[in-house]
Structures are given as C-alpha cells and as structure tokens.
Chains A and B, each alone.
Chain A
Amino acid sequence: MGLYYTMPELILAGGIILIVLIGFFLRNKTTNLHGLLTLAIFTASVGYAIFAWSFYKTPMMLFGNMIRTDQFSAYFRILADVAAGLTVLMALRNKSLAEKFNSEFYTFLTGAVLGSHLLMMSTNLVMVFISLELLSISSYILAGYSFNKKGAEGSLKYFLFGSAASAIMLYGFSILFGITGTLEFTSENFTNNLSVNQSMLVVVAAIMAFAGFLYKIAAAPMHVWSPDVYEGSPMPVIAFLSVVPKLAGIVVLTKMAMAFAVTTVPFDWQLVLAIIAMLSIGIGNLSALWQNNAKRMMAYSSIAQSGFLLIGVVCLTPQSMQAFLFYSALYLAANYVVFISLQAFEKNSINSIPSFGGAGRSFLFLSIVLLGGLISLSGIPPTGGFTSKLFVFASLWASYEQTGKSILLWLLLFGLLNTVISLFYYLKIPYYAFLKTPESSLLPENTSFENFLAFLLVVGVLFFFIRPDFLMGWLNTINFVL
C-alpha cells in the first residue's frame, strides 16, 4: 500500500542500483548513457508524482509513522527532481565530468535526490537524521568532483563543517527524545510532552537541532563553508547544491518549527528565525559585493536567497507558505538559468567577473539570457522573481499586521533594502559583459544547447511574471498539513 505513495522513491532507489550495475559493465567507456538513464529516472519520478498528485491530497502516514506523504512535500519532491534533471543536462555538457567516474557521478546525484525526497517527507527524527546524512554524504562526494586541488579543499571543508553540524544536531535530537520519549516529532505525544516539560533545555536542544538544517541551507551563521565549496566544485554540482539541499532543509525546518509553534515553549521562534533570515540576507549580499569570481559571488547570492526563503518559515501562515512555494519554484528556475549560462561561459574560459568584459558582444544571446536570470534573482520586473518577492513581502506584511511584532517590519524593510543592494552585484556581470571591451579575443565554443535550455527557463521566469496565477492557482489547492 505504502509503495504506491512512495513510487518516486522506489524509482530512485532502483535507479541507483541500475546505474551502479550499468556503470560496472561499461567501465572505462565515455558515454552519455548514464546521464540519459538518470534523466529518464528523474523524469519517471516527476511523471509519477504528477500522475499521482490526487493521491497526496489526504496526508498518509507510512512505514510505521516514519514518513508522511502530502501535497506539500510532493510539490518539493517534484522541484527536487526537476532541479536534478537540469543538473544532469548540465553535466552531460560538462566535459570534465564525463572523463572521470561518470556513472558514479550519477549514482551520487540520484542518492542525494533520494535523500532530499525522504528528508522532505520525514516525520520521525531517525528518518530526518538518516536521510539528511544520505543527502549530505552524497553532496560531500559530489563537491569534490572536479578532482583538483580546489575541489579537494572545498570538499574537505564541506565535510568537516557538515559532520560537525550534524553531530550537534543529533545531540539536540537525543535531548528532545529524552524530554518527550518519542521520535515522531509531528505527533501529539511529542508536542504535549514539550509543553508539559518546558524549560531552557528544550530551547537549547531545539537550537542544536536547527543548527543542522541551517547548515544545509547555508544560512548565516552556518554559511562559511559555502563560498569555498562553490568555488571548488564543478558547475552542475553547485547548481544542484544551491537548490535541492536548501529546499529540503527548509521544508523539514518548516515542519519542525510548526511542531514547536504549537507548543507553549517560552521562546520566540519568530524572532530567532527572523534574525537568522536578516543575517543571511545581509551577510550574503554585503559579501557578494566584493567578489571577483562568478562562482563565489553566486555562493553569497544563494546565502542571501536562503534568507528570503526563510521568511516563509518566519511567518508560518498559509499565505506565507504559498509565497514560499512560489518563491522556491522561481528561485530554482532563475538559479539554473544563471548556472547554465555560467557553465557555457566557463567553457570559453570566462570565470572571473572582469573576464566577462565584452562577452555581450561575442555571446549576445547567452548574455541576455543570463541577464534575465540575474534580474529575476534580484527581484525586479518583468520577471517572476519580482512577483515571488512581492508575494513574500506581502505575506510578511500581512503577518506583521496580524501579530504587530516589530521584528517582522524590520525584516521587511531590511529585505527591501537588500533587494537594492543585491542589484549592485547581480548587475556586475552584465555590466562587464555589455559595457566593457573584451580583454582578449578567443574562438567561441558552441553553446547552442545551453542557449536553448537557459532560454526555455527564462521564458518560464517571464511567463510567471505575466501569469503568476497559473502556478499560484495550483498552489492554492495544496492542503497545508504540516
């Protein structure tokens, strides 16, 4: 029975084994077969999730209350699969990835996606921990996939920070288990026991538990690893890391925060999360201003974007959750536009921001598409990024009006101010590309596939500006049982 509901996960798990086996038989052969197979796996997973959308209407507890399927998590599972599919498309066009351990790359990618799927559905601390680790360990390996000095260094830093964070998180879980006597954190048993046994220990344990998620979404102050990892990793991996673990982390953070919100624990969660969101937005944007490497700049940008994604959790109203769902999809699309174009530029050895000088002339189409993605990330019209920021801010304001908490107003003003600051660095690459003259002329490599893919996504981003109701109307039907 449960297998019908978790068919996407079964497909992914079966896919992992299939890729390993095929990789075993096709050792030492450079082929696109692994990538195409992985793409087929993700497509099947998305296809099933959409086909079975109505199944998820009523939440189902499965596997001895380990996971719960509902439309909220199903939506994010679809997003994760889409992101992973785009990553595969990017990887297929990345020569260095095809040279070494090609089939293994797709194994780890599928593993990470499986981990994120399970993490989004978990309702049990055991499941949270083990799926988070599946996601993390796969990511550590993926981060080192450029097989050079920088990659190794980034991978080590990622691993050390990540394991320390998950150990701290685990310690928090163990205390929560001690206080409540249960591991099912969405159950009434858990929340009632927290309300009965409230003390500072609950607060300390919860902060420890949240640390792991904050690390996964690269929110300040747990963000220090991300620029190094981004700089050292191959482009498809960065694109993946900046979307999937982030969304998975925030989804499970939402569920945890929801569990704590119904208790009477004497602690202002909104305040803490709002401060973390502000810190992430501020630190991310201010540091991004000084970057000269496109990858590092995007790392700081994604730290700032986590702050905006967190706003949905800060409010925890149905409206803010819808804004969060909308924001996630647009963030995914715009982010992939940027990374796909950056990969195409990287192929032509354009890496540092000054080396984009004059790229607008040799790669006009790609530069315009990149501009579209960057504008959407910064959130000005006419892109879906604007609409999504508008929804997020509107929900923030509505919840300020409801609660009268001044921290929400500060968060709103801070976020708006940072929208302006972010334009400084988001427009840095277009500034060099269009307004500067080229440093050196080189023979452009063919980027038509990237052009096409990024163009499709940009069209999507523009479309959701003009008709946000297409997506929002669908999100409205989602049943929010958290």
Chain B
Amino acid sequence: MSLISLALYIFEALAGAAALGILLVRNVFHAALLLIVCLISLAGVFVIYNAEFIAVTQILVYAGGVLVLIVFGIMLSSRIAGKPLVVTNQYVLPASLAGILSAGILIKLFSEQPFAQQPGALPGNPMNQTGIALMRDYVLPFEIAGILLLIALIGAAVTASSFYSKKQ
C-alpha cells in the first residue's frame, strides 16, 4: 500500500465518519464543526485525484464562506446566548430506512456498474488547463455564475435586512 492510497483511505474514513457524526450529534454547532472536518477531508481526497484547484476552492469557499455563514446563522437564530441549540429528531424510522436503502442500493449498483473507461490521462498541468478552459469552453456558465452570485448577494441582503427593520 503506497503512501498516497493510505492517505486516501484516511481522508475518506474521516469524511465518512464526520458525515455519520452529523447524523448523530444533536447540537447544531457541533454538526457545523463536523461538516468542516468532512469538507476538509474531501479536499484531501480531491488533491489525491489531481483536482488541486477544486480542493483549494473547497477549502477557501466552503470552510471560509459557507461555514462562516452557517455559524453566523446558528448564533443569530439560537435563543439567548449560553444555551446551545439542540435539535430533536423526527421520523427516525422512515428516515433510517430511506437512508440505509438509498446507500445500499447505490453501493450495490455502483459495484455492478462497469463505468466507461475514459481514454487518456489528465493533462500535465491541470491548473493551467483549468484557467484556459474556464475562459474558453466554460465561459458561459462562468458568466452566469457571476450573475448568480450578484443575485444571491443582493437577495441575501434584501432578505436578511428586514431582520433589522422595525416594521412588522
């Protein structure tokens, strides 16, 4: 077992454990921390699969952006400080059934599926290629993503601003 595949196993185990942990913990803040663990482990997995750019984005955007947002959300929406935000579970039986079934079916089908053998290998310098292709083949989604971000930012501001308004 090479060092790289050992690292892959460790990252994957960490990510899986963190995901299951989110399911089990009852404190939302703990869940958010576990999500960080899961996301960072996944970033490690991405690096091993030669997707360095995705990994960097994953850490910067998710850990830096989404999680800060979530933690903000937890802090702003929990009752008076000091009490942790604890959630109870509902529909435990049907949900576990759905979860186990979907995982089981997916794993079984994945193991039977011969995935298309894609010819060729990744380009030597993926980061460079990524930059070029982003401005060439993917220029349309790239532009749309820009508009999407603009709309989401204004939208979040509009939606949350009424939080501070005195009316209603």
List chain A positions with a Cβ less than 8 A from chain B: 13, 16, 20, 62-64, 66-67, 100-101, 104, 107-108, 111, 114, 118, 126-127, 130-131, 133-134, 137-138, 140-141, 144, 147-149, 155, 178-181, 193, 197, 199-201, 204
Contacts and interface: CB of A to CB of B under 8 A. Distances in A.
A149 B162 CA distance: 11
Interface string B148-168: 101110110011001000011
A202 B148 CA distance: 30
A207 to B, nearest CB: 11
B39 to A, nearest CB: 15
22 contacts: A16-B147, A16-B151, A20-B150, A64-B136, A64-B139, A107-B151, A108-B151, A108-B155, A114-B144, A114-B147, A126-B138, A127-B140, A130-B148, A138-B151, A141-B151, A141-B159, A149-B168, A178-B113, A181-B116, A197-B116, A199-B109, A199-B113
A111 B138 contact: no
Contact of B110 (A16, A104, A155, A201): A201
Contacts of A155: 159
Contacts of A13: 143, 147
A193 B116 contact: yes
Interface of chain B: mostly helix, strand, loop or mixed: helix
B165 to A, nearest CB: 8
B115 interface: yes
Given A138-B155, A201-B110, A201-B112, A111 B147 contact: yes
Contacts of B158: 101, 104, 141
Interface centre among B138, B144, B150 (most CB of A within 10 A): B144
Nearest to B157: A104
B151 A130 contact: no
B155 A137 contact: yes
B118 interface: yes
Given A66-B140, A134-B144, A204 B155 contact: no
Interface string B30-41: 000000000000
B162 to A, nearest CB: 5
A53 B143 CA distance: 25
A179 B115 contact: yes
A469 to B, nearest CB: 38
A20 B154 contact: yes
Interface of B: 105-106, 109-110, 112-116, 118, 136-141, 143-145, 147-148, 150-152, 154-155, 158-159, 162, 167-168
A104 B105 CA distance: 45
B151 A134 contact: yes
Return the 10 tightest CB-CB contacts between A and B, nearest first.
Answer: A141-B155, A64-B137, A201-B109, A63-B140, A181-B116, A111-B151, A201-B113, A66-B140, A181-B118, A101-B158
Contacts of A140: 155
Contacts of A134: 144, 147-148, 151
A427 B36 CA distance: 55
Contacts of B151: 16, 107-108, 111, 134, 137-138, 141
Contacts of A197: 113-116
Given A104-B154, A137-B148, 15 more contacts: A63-B140, A64-B136, A64-B137, A66-B137, A111-B148, A114-B147, A130-B148, A134-B147, A137-B151, A137-B152, A141-B155, A199-B109, A199-B112, A204-B105, A204-B109
A62 B140 CA distance: 10
A211 to B, nearest CB: 12
A130 B154 contact: no
Nearest to A196: B116
B154 to A, nearest CB: 6
Nearest to A171: B106
